[in-house]
Amino acid sequence: MATTEVRGLGHSVKRKEDERFIRGKGTYIDDIALPGMLHMELLRSPFAHARVVSIDTSRAEALPGVVAVVTGELMAQHNLAWMPTLSGDTQAVLATDKVRFQGQEVTAVVAESAYVAKDALELIEVDYEPLPAVTNPQQALQQDAPVIRDDKEDQTSNHIYHWEAGDKEATDRAFDEADKVVALDTHYPRCHPAPLECCGCVADVNPATSKATIYMTSQAPHVHRTLFALVTGLPEQNIRIVSPDIGGGFGNKVPIYPGYVVATAASLLLGRPVKWIEDRTGNLISTGFARDYHMHGELAVKDGRIVGLRASLAADEGAFYADAQPSKLRIGLFHIVTGSYDIPTAHVQGDGAYTNKAPGGVAYRCSFRVTEASYLIERLVDVAANELGVDPAEFRVQNFIKPDQFPYESATGFVYDSGDYEKALRLALEKLGYEDLRKEQAEAREQGKLIGIGLASFTEVVGAGHGKEYDIVGLRMFDSAELRVHPTGKAILKLGVKAQGQGHETTFAQIVAEELGIPYEDVEVQEGDTDNTPYGLGTYASRSTPVAGAATAVIARKLRDKARTIAAHLLEAAEDDLEWERGRFSVKGAPDRAKTIQDVAFAAYTDLPEGLEAGLEGVHYYDPPNMTFPFGSYAVVVEVDRGTGQWKVRRVVAVDDCGVRINPMIVEGQIMGGLTEGFGIAAMELITFDEEGNCIGSNFIDYLLPTSWETPPFELGETVTPSPHHPIGAKGVGESATVGSPAAYVNAVVDALAHAGVRNLEMPVTSDKVWQALQEAGLAE
Amino acid sequence: MTETVVQEGVTTRAMTVNLNGETRAAEVEPRLLLVHFLRQTLGLTGTHLGCDTTSCGACTVLLDGVPVKSCTLFAVQADGREVTTVEGLQKGAELHPIQEAFREEHGLQCGFCTPGMMLTATALLKENPDPTDEEIRWALSGNICRCTGYQNIVNAVHHAAAKLSGKGR
Amino acid sequence: MYPASFEYFAPTTLDEALEILERQEGEAKVLAGGQSLIPLMKLRFATPRALVDINAVTGLDTLEEEDGGLRIGALVRHKTCERSELLSGRFGALGAAAPLISDPIVRNLGTVCGSLAHADPQGDWGSVMLAVGADVEVRGPGGARTIPIEEFFQGPFTTALEPTEVITEVRVRDPGPDSAGTYLKLERKVGDFATVGAAVHLSFANGTIGHAGIALTGVGPANLKATSAEEALAGRELDEDAIRNAAQLAAEAAEPRYDIRGSAEYKRSVVRVFVERGLRAAAEGRSHD
C-alpha cells in the first residue's frame, strides 16, 4: 500500500474545493437550468409605509411570455400570504393590506425569461395610499407613533420585546460605590452582509413525482426543509433542499425570504420549475440587514478597576421581527458585553421596536449580536482609559480576566472555557512596536501630523449550542457528522452544516485524517443536500467547527474503536495489545505486525470477527456542553488628513486565539476577510433612511464596500489556548475579526484626535464626521 | 446549454464572436447583456453576476484581451471580437498559472469573485509582468471580494507573475 | 438589470451615424463606452428607442498634440489617457484626473468625450476641461460646429448638444509653454463619485500667472468654474498669499449642498484645502516645454 503522509490538524493543506472554483465550474444557484424552467421577478414597494388600495395585473398578464402573476391575494387563498419568522413573529410574503418597508415584496411575475418578467413588472399598476413612516426606534416608541403591525391583533404599539440579563440591584450598588462612572451612547449603524452572490432559488415541484426539490442559497438547509414543510404543508419526506455552492453567506442566507416561498408556490401551481434570483437592490433593500442597535453603556470604576457595567439598547428590528437567532434570546448573545474583563456585576437590558424598514438584525458575522456587544465594551474601555489618563493597553491588562480564573463565570451567566488575554495583547503590542509608535505619535503631533493607535481585545462566544439553551424555532442546536469508510479505504463524510467559502471540504477531511488516519485527499465531504446528509442546524455564528467539527471527531473516534476490534481480529492479538499511530495499528513490541486503516476498511466488508456487524460507519449528533470563547487583540494605526478628514490605515496587527487550528491557512483567510469587513463597517458601510423611509444604501453605488485599494495589508499572529471541552480543542474563528476589529479602527481614529478632547466618533467614521471633530477641536487645516 | 428565449415579433441580430478561441454564432436581441449571452445562450456559467450598478466586477471578462464588465455591454457589441472567459484560461487539462496561483495562495474562499479577479490579473500581468503590491491593488480595485480581504489575492498575483516569467513569457 | 428593448445600429462611418440619428428624430442615443448610459438603461432610467454604436467608426480615437494643444477623439478611452505621457506636465490636470475616473475596468471602455456628453454634475472631466480650457467639436445634420467648453454644460445631465449631433473630439487649448496643473478628488472609495473635486491649471508668463483655471466637481448643480478665484490669480506671482486668497475665493464660489457625504460647510472647506494643495502642486509641477 502506498504511503501518503497523513496530514491532519495544523496543516495548511490546499483546498480541495478550489478545483472547481478556479475553473469557473462551481454550481451556484443561478447556474442551474432545468427543462421548462420559468423566471420570476418581484415587484417591490416604492413606499416605506402605505395602504395597498388596489393592484391591477391585467396588462402584465396579457404580455406574451408571461405565464402567471402572483399577488398577495392569490397567496392568501393558499394560506401563504404570511409566513412565520425565525423569531416567532409573522412576515408578509406578498403584501395584502399594507406595505411596511420600502422594497417590500408586493407582486411576482413568472415568465419565460427574466427580461420579459421585468417588462411585465412595469405593466402592473398598484394604487398606494402613503402613510407616515417610522424610521427609528425612538420615534417608533413614542405615544403617538403610527402602529406598523396593525395586522397583529394584540399589537397596540411598535414595541416588540423587553429583555434583561444580569443583576440590577448588585450593579446599582456597584455604581453607587464607584469613584468614577464612564458613559457612552453609540449607535452601531445598520449595515448589510452583502455577499457577492445574491439570494435565490430554483423551486422544482414535480407533479409527476410529488417531489419538491428546492435549490436555494441556504446556510441551514435542514431547518429550511422543516420550515418549508410547516409553512407549505408539503410532506417533509417529499421536500429536498439542495444548497450547492454558495457565493458568500455571512448570515444573509439564514432567513427564509418571501421570494423562496412565492417561487415554490408558483412551481406547485404551474407544475414547472421556477427560478428566482434577486438583484442587488432587492438584496440590500429587503434581505436580512445587520446591527442597528442604539446602545448606552456605563462602566463603574473604582481604584482603576471596573466594578460594574450597565448596558441598555434599543433595537431597530424593521417591520417584521425576523432575527435569525436562538429562540430564547431576544437580543442574542449581547450579554457577553462584559467582554474580556473581570467585571463582578453587570446589568443588561434591551427593547426591540418595529420600524418601516426591512426585517433582520442578526447577520453579517455577528455571532448573534456579539459584534454589537464587543463594540460597546471596547469603545467604553478606551473612553474610560482616556478619562482616567491611563494607557489603554495597561487599562485593559489591569482589568482582564486572568488565566487562573478559567473556567470563568461572567456576571451575566456565561462560563468562558479558556483564555489568556494578556498574552495575546502583549504579543500584538510587541508586533506593533507599541512603545515606539507612541513616541512617534507624540513627535508627529508636534509637527501637526495626526497618528492614531487603536486597540481592541475581544472575547467572543460561538458554537451554539447546548440544546437546553439553544434552539432555532424549537430545533435544538446540535450538529451532525455521518462518516462511512469504503472497502478501498476511502471515506465519505456528510455534515449537517453548510459552508459558503469556509473550506469545509478540506478542514473536516483533515479532522478525519487526524482521528482515523485516512488521508484528507481520500475523504469526500458532502454538505447541503438534505436527502443526503444528517440533520443539522447549518453554518453561521461560527458554529461549524465547535459543533459539527466535534461531531466529526467523535464519530471518527468511534470508528477507530471498531477498527481496533477488526485489526485485533486480523492480527490475532488482543485489542489492548495494539498501538495506534495515525492510520496504523501495530502489535506492542512487534511493530512489523501491523494493519493499516485501509486494511481494516477492506476487512470490514470481507473478514470480520464473528458477530460483528459489517461496514465501518456511523453518525453522531453532537450536543455541545458549552459554548467556546475565541479571543484576540487587534491593533490599528491610522493617519488622519487634517484638511479632508480622511483617514488611512497604516498598519493592522491582529493576534487571534481560536484554540487548535485545523488549517492555519484557512484560519488566516477567515481572519483577513473579517478584518476587511470590520474596516468596511468602521469606515464606509451604511444603510440609512430619510424621513419618508426611503432607503439610501440599496445598491453598490451607495452601499460602499472596500476594494483592494482601500483595504490595508494585515499582520497576523496567534496564541493557542485550546478549548478544554472540545474534542479537538478548537473554538471556531469565522467571525472573530468582524466582531473584534471595528472598535480597533474607531479607537484608532479617536486616538488621533483624543489629545484635543475628542471622545467619540460614530460609525461609519466618514471623512466629514472626522472633519467636524477636527474643526471643533481646532485641529482642522 | 440553454437557448435564450426570444419573444415573437422581437427583432434579433446575428452576431459572431470568438469565444475562448472558438467561433460561436447566435441570433440575439440587441438588449441582451453580454453576461447573459455568456451564461444563458452559451451556457458558460463561470462568469458571475454580483450587482446591478456596474460596481462589483464579478462579471469581468476579457474583450480583445482587455478586462470589461460584461454586465455593461450588449452581446451585439462583441460581434466580430474576441471574448475570453474563465473557461478559456486553461489549455486542455493544463491550468493557467493564475489559476494554480490562486489555489496555492488561498486567494479564494467562496469562489464567486474569482473568475473576474483572475481575468483582470492576467491582463495586468501581460502588461506589467512584475507588478508591486500597490500596482496589483490598483489594477484589481474594480473587482470586489467579500471573503478574502484581498491580501492572498495579491500574493496569488505575485505567485503567478513569478511562474509566468519563469516560463520566459 | 434588464434594459427595455431598443433598435441597434453599428455604423462604420460618421456620416452613417449622423444619418441614423437624424432618422431617429432625437430618440436615439450614441453609444461609445456605454459605461454611464448602459447602467441607466439597465435600471430603466433611460429607455432610448435606438442605440447608435460608434465604436466601429474609424478616425475617432486620436490622442495627440497639435499646435500646442491636445486633441482627444470621441473614442479615446479613460485608460488611454491614464497611460499617456502626453497628459503630464502642461496637461497635468488631465493626467491627474484620468486615473481617478470610476474604476480601472470601467476606464477600459469609458470615453472622455462620452463623459462630457453625459454631463454628470459629479463627473470629473467636466471640471478638468473647464479649468484648462477646451472646445468641443461637434458634427450634426447642420454640419460641423465648435462649442467652447464654457458654453457646453447647461445643467445637470444637460449640454448644448442636440440629440442628432455627435461629439467628434475635444480640443484642449494650448496652455503655453510654461504651465502645469492637477486634479484632486475626494472619493470615499475607488469608483465613487467625487464628494469634492478640484481641477487646477496655471499658465505662467514671465514669472507670473498668465492665466489660471479652477473648476470644481460635486459642489454645484453642474461643474463649476471658480471665476473670481481665477481672476484673483491672473497677473500675480504664485506666492502663499495668492494661493490662500484664491483658495478662499474658490470656496466662496462653491455651492455645495448637504447630503450623505457631508455638510455644505465641510465641502466648502475641502474646496479651499484642495485648491490650496492643487495650486502648490501646480507650482511644483511647472514645466518649460
Structure confidence by residue, pLDDT tens digits, A163-206: 999 999 999 999 999 999 999 999 999 999 999 999 999 999 99
Does the beta-carbon distance from C8 to B76 stay under 8 Å?
A: yes
Indicate the range of A152-161, B126-135, C122-131, C278-287 predicted with least confidence. Answer: C278-287
User: How distant is the Cα of C270 from the closest Cα of chain A, in angstroms?
Assistant: 6
Indicate the range of A197-201, A664-668, C279-283 predicted with least confidence. Answer: C279-283
User: By C-alpha distance, which of B33, B68, A117, A286 is closest to C41?
Assistant: B33
Report the pLDDT value the prediction gives residue B2, as an integer from 0 to 100.
43
Instruction: Kindly provide the b/e burial profile for residues A246-256, where b requires at least 16 CB atoms within 10 angstroms of the residue's own CB.
Output: bbbbbbbbbbb
Amino acid making up residue B80: G
Amino acid making up residue A273: P
Q: What is the pLDDT averaged over residues B56-62?
A: 98
Calpha distance C52→C56 (Å, rounded): 10
Rounded (5°) CA angle A412-A413-A414: 105
Report the pLDDT value the prediction gives residue C282, as an integer from 0 to 100.
85
> What does the mean pLDDT of chain C come to?
96
> Under a CB-based contact definition with an 8 Å cutoff, are residues A540 and A255 in contact?
no
Does the beta-carbon distance from C190 to A118 stay under 8 Å?
A: no
Report the pLDDT value the prediction gives residue B75, as an integer from 0 to 100.
98
Inter-chain CB pairs, A–C, below 8 Å: 61
Instruction: Kindly provide the b/e burial profile for residues A337-363, where b requires at least 16 CB atoms within 10 angstroms of the residue's own CB.
Output: bbbbbbbbbbbbbbbbbbbbbbbbbbb
* Percentage of residues in chain B having pLDDT higher than 90: 91
A688-717 pLDDT, tens digit each: 999 999 999 999 999 999 999 999 999 999
> Under a CB-based contact definition with an 8 Å cutoff, are residues A425 and A631 in contact?
no
Calpha distance A436→A425 (Å, rounded): 16
What residues of C are in contact with residue B120 (Cβ under 8 Å)?
A: 104-105
What residues of C are in contact with residue B143 (Cβ under 8 Å)?
A: 105
pLDDT at A2 exceeding the cut of 50:
no
Lookup result for grid cell 456597584: A174
DSSP code for A713: P
Confidence bin at C168 (pLDDT 50/70/90): very high
Taking the model in full, what pTM does it have? Answer: 0.98
* Percentage of residues in chain A having pLDDT higher than 90: 99
Lookup result for grid cell 430554483: A202
Confidence bin at C137 (pLDDT 50/70/90): very high
Calpha distance A717→A664 (Å, rounded): 11
DSSP code for A520: G
Does the beta-carbon distance from B7 to A250 stay under 8 Å?
A: no
User: What DSSP assignment string belongs to A296-350?
Assistant: EEEEEEETTEEEEEEEEEEEE--SS----S-TT-TTTTGGGTTTTB--S-EEEEE
> What does the mean pLDDT of chain A come to?
97
Question: What number of other Cβ atoms are within 10 A of residue A756's Cβ?
Answer: 14
What residues of A are in contact with residue B153 (Cβ under 8 Å)?
A: 708
> Under a CB-based contact definition with an 8 Å cutoff, are residues A447 and A520 in contact?
no
ipTM: 0.97
Chain A residue with the nearest C-alpha to that of C4: A119
Q: What is the pLDDT averaged over residues A54-69?
A: 98
Q: Is A670 a catalytic residue?
A: no
Question: What number of other Cβ atoms are within 10 A of residue C71's Cβ?
Answer: 17
pLDDT at B1 exceeding the cut of 70:
no
> Under a CB-based contact definition with an 8 Å cutoff, are residues B48 and B65 in contact?
no
Confidence bin at B5 (pLDDT 50/70/90): low
Report the pLDDT value the prediction gives residue C207, as an integer from 0 to 100.
86
Rounded (5°) CA angle A92-A96-A97: 105
Orientation angle between helical segments A504-516 and A550-571, nearest 10 degrees = 40
A377-433 pLDDT, tens digit each: 999 999 999 999 999 999 999 999 999 999 999 999 999 999 999 999 999 999 999
Report the pLDDT value the prediction gives residue A604, as an integer from 0 to 100.
98
Report the pLDDT value the prediction gives residue B77, as an integer from 0 to 100.
98
Three-state secondary structure string covering C45-74 = CCCCCEEEECCCCCCCCCEEEECCEEEEEC
Report the pLDDT value the prediction gives residue A4, as an integer from 0 to 100.
57
User: How distant is the Cα of C269 from the closest Cα of chain A, in angstroms?
Assistant: 8
A593-634 pLDDT, tens digit each: 999 999 999 999 999 999 999 999 999 999 999 999 999 999
User: By C-alpha distance, which of A335, A346, A351 is closest to A299?
Assistant: A346
Chain B residue with the nearest C-alpha to that of A32: B45
What residues of A are in contact with residue B55 (Cβ under 8 Å)?
A: 699-701
Calpha distance A315→A289 (Å, rounded): 12
Confidence bin at B4 (pLDDT 50/70/90): low
pLDDT at A544 exceeding the cut of 50:
yes
Which of A91, A102, A219, A598 does the annotation list as catalytic? A219
Does the beta-carbon distance from B147 to A673 stay under 8 Å?
A: yes
- Helix, strand, or coil (residue B157): helix
User: What DSSP assignment string belongs to C197-225?
Assistant: EEEEEEEEETTEEEEEEEEEESSSSS-EE
pLDDT at B3 exceeding the cut of 50:
no
Check CB contact of A363 with chain B, cutoff 8 Å: no
> Is the previous residue joined to C3 through a cis bond, with omega within 30 degrees of 0?
no
Does the beta-carbon distance from B145 to A196 stay under 8 Å?
A: yes
Which of A191, A366, A658, A695 does the annotation list as catalytic? A366
* Percentage of residues in chain A having pLDDT higher than 70: 99
Chain centroid, CA A58 distance in Å: 42
Confidence bin at B168 (pLDDT 50/70/90): very low
Q: What is the pLDDT averaged over residues A336-362?
A: 98
Does the beta-carbon distance from A280 to B149 stay under 8 Å?
A: no
Report the pLDDT value the prediction gives residue A5, as an integer from 0 to 100.
79
Does the beta-carbon distance from C189 to A705 stay under 8 Å?
A: yes
pLDDT at A15 exceeding the cut of 70:
yes
pLDDT at B85 exceeding the cut of 60:
yes
pLDDT at C195 exceeding the cut of 70:
yes
Does the beta-carbon distance from C195 to A780 stay under 8 Å?
A: no
Question: Which set of grid coordinates corresponds to residue C150?
Answer: 464654457
Q: What is the pLDDT averaged over residues A94-123?
A: 97
What residues of C are in contact with residue A707 (Cβ under 8 Å)?
A: 103, 189-191
Calpha distance C67→C87 (Å, rounded): 15
- Could you give the residue ranges of the DSSP H alpha helices within A620-732? 664-683
Report the pLDDT value the prediction gives residue B166, as an integer from 0 to 100.
86
User: How distant is the Cα of A738 from the closest Cα of chain C, in angstroms?
Assistant: 20
Q: How far is CA A424 from CA A385, A462, A662, A719, A744, in A?
A: 19, 19, 19, 6, 15
| B142 → closest Cβ in C1, C42, C103 | C103
Kindly tell me the sign of the dihedral angle through the C-alpha atoms of C111, C116, C120, C123.
positive
